[in-house]
Amino acid sequence: MFFTISITLLGLLVLFLGSTIWIGISLFLVGIGGFVFFTGSPPFTILSNILWNNTSGSTMMALPLFILMGEILFRSKISENLFKGLSPWMNYLPGRLIHVNIVACSLFAAVSGSSAATTATVGKITLPELEKRNYSKSLFIGSLAGAGTLGFLIPPSMVMLVYGIVAEVSIGKLFIAGIIPGIMLATAFSGFTAVRCMINPELAPMGDANYSWHDRISTLPLLLPVIFLIVMVLGSIYAGWATPTEAASVGVVGSLFFALISRSIDRDTFWEAVMGSVKTSAMIMLIVVGASFLSVAVGYLGIPSKLTQYIGGLALSKYQLIFILSIMYLILGTLLDGFSMIVMSLPLALPLITAAGFDPLWFGIYLVIMIELAQITPPVGFNLFVINGLVGEDVFKIAYYALPSFFIILVIVIVITLYPDIVLVLPNMMVK
């Protein structure tokens, strides 16, 4: 009976997701089907409670605020100034301005929280410049596809917010836990770029640019708005001065202030930012609430506990379990967006992970990195679509360019699995 119910619900979910029905609505329909056909519980009474519980908390308010901050930055001159400020400092490294892709994505990720926004914002500035300078297309597009995923790992992160809400894990600790893996990943991207260009300098030609130390120092003020926002948003959370929601409010005010003084925002642009954040927030909340409803239905049917008992009976080691979950997430990543991957898989995966002895905080960072892989995995890789819109290249060709980044991210997954303290050391220091 357990397997019959599980296969029925899974089949319905695959059927709906394969159609033109929205993901959030598909989750609602499968949840209602589970209640109606397999339990005697009233689905709509339960749904009303879930709608209130999942949307009325103060933590959920951080989500639209961080999205609004990213939308404002996306439409302002801050990203353009970021390229101008970083270029003189990166030009002397092997790989030269390709490192601007990586560093700019890292910095913008620390104020936007979105992988797609990070990729689009940095890409619209750097890609035309790198193409004009005859840099290797495969290298600079691949570096952007990989580095753009840092928008999910380097805090603040929309995906971390959703994971923290669904898994009931401290969002502040999640943000802190993402710092070291984020720096490791950015360093690995830059290291790979430098080695490739040392082997073949023609991938990043010298060009005519020749920057003096005066040029480098004079461009530092262009970086100050982003650095100020990082310090204000993340610093206030780490210091315990503000909750993620309050820090997000500070970020919105700060980004609006810098957009105004740079004269890169007007009434129409601000309204576009507001409407963009409303649409994105509504989409994410619909998925979160739909998945929460399906999770409750699955819980009523006892599927998580029975599945946990079944897999527990297989006597898998903790690393065998992670290997199986990694395969599952790689497959899911070809079909679903990151938010759906979290809320759909967590009710089943989290009990297994905790039973195996893994820390839910560590698992959150592991899951975020697996979602980064999904961002550059066709056919539903959002970063691939963003870059496709910027350069017009075929999505599968962009995915081929991003293959080195894919394997670099996989290596980081293996490293943090073998050495989980890399993720947990900063949050544990925070507790002490």
What is the rounded CA–CA span in Å between residue 74 and residue 112?
9
Share of the chain above pLDDT 70, in %: 90
Domain hosting residue 142, numbered range: 2-431
Give the distance from CA 122 to its chain's centroid. Answer: 15
What is the rounded CA–CA span in Å between residue 194 and residue 306?
50
**Length, in residues, of the chain:** 432
- Determine which helix (DSSP H) or strand (DSSP E) holds 259, and give its type and residue range: helix 244-261
Distances (CA, A) of 70 to 47, 101, 109, 269, 271: 31, 18, 9, 13, 14
Structure tokens at 272: 């576009």
Least trusted range by pLDDT, from 53-62, 273-282, 319-328, 331-340 = 53-62
Give the DSSP letter of residue 223: G
Interacting residues of 69 by C-beta distance below 8 A, sequence separation 6+: 111, 112, 113, 229, 233, 248, 251, 252, 254, 255
CB 245 within 8 A of CB 65: yes
DSSP output for 295-361: HHHHHHTTHHHHHHHHHHHTT--HHHHHHHHHHHHHHHHTTS-HHHHHHHHHHHHHHHHHHTT--HH
What is the rounded CA–CA span in Å between residue 117 and residue 122?
8
CB 239 within 8 A of CB 99: no
The amino acid at residue 241 is: W
What is the rounded CA–CA span in Å between residue 356 and residue 257?
48
Most confident of 267-281, 309-323, 388-402, 409-423: 409-423
In this prediction, residue 231 carries a pLDDT of 83
What is the rounded CA–CA span in Å between residue 157 and residue 178?
9
Buried b (16+ CB within 10 A) or exposed e, 370-383: bbbbbbbbbebbbb
Query: Where does 39-157 have alpha helices with state H?
Result: 43-55, 58-74, 78-90, 98-112, 115-132, 137-148, 150-153
What is the rounded CA–CA span in Å between residue 31 and residue 24?
11
What is the rounded CA–CA span in Å between residue 117 and residue 49?
33
Residue 311 has pLDDT above 70, yes or no: no
What angle do the packed helices 421-431 and 360-375 form, to 10 degrees? Answer: 130
Burial, 21: exposed, middle or buried (Cβ in 10 Å; 0-12, 13-18, 19+)?
A: middle
Domain count, the chain: 1
Could you report the per-residue pLDDT of 363-415, keeping only the tens digit for each?
999 999 998 888 888 766 778 877 887 787 888 888 899 999 999 999 999 99
The CB density around residue 425, as the number of other CB atoms within 10 Å, is 15
In this prediction, residue 432 carries a pLDDT of 46
Give the DSSP letter of residue 202: G
Could you report the per-residue pLDDT of 7-59, keeping only the tens digit for each?
777 777 777 766 777 767 877 888 888 888 877 777 777 777 777 766 666 66
Could you report the per-residue pLDDT of 159-169, keeping only the tens digit for each?
888 898 888 88
The amino acid at residue 422 is: I
In this prediction, residue 230 carries a pLDDT of 81
Could you report the per-residue pLDDT of 108-147, keeping only the tens digit for each?
888 777 787 778 778 877 888 788 888 888 998 999 999 9
- Determine which helix (DSSP H) or strand (DSSP E) holds 265, and give its type and residue range: none
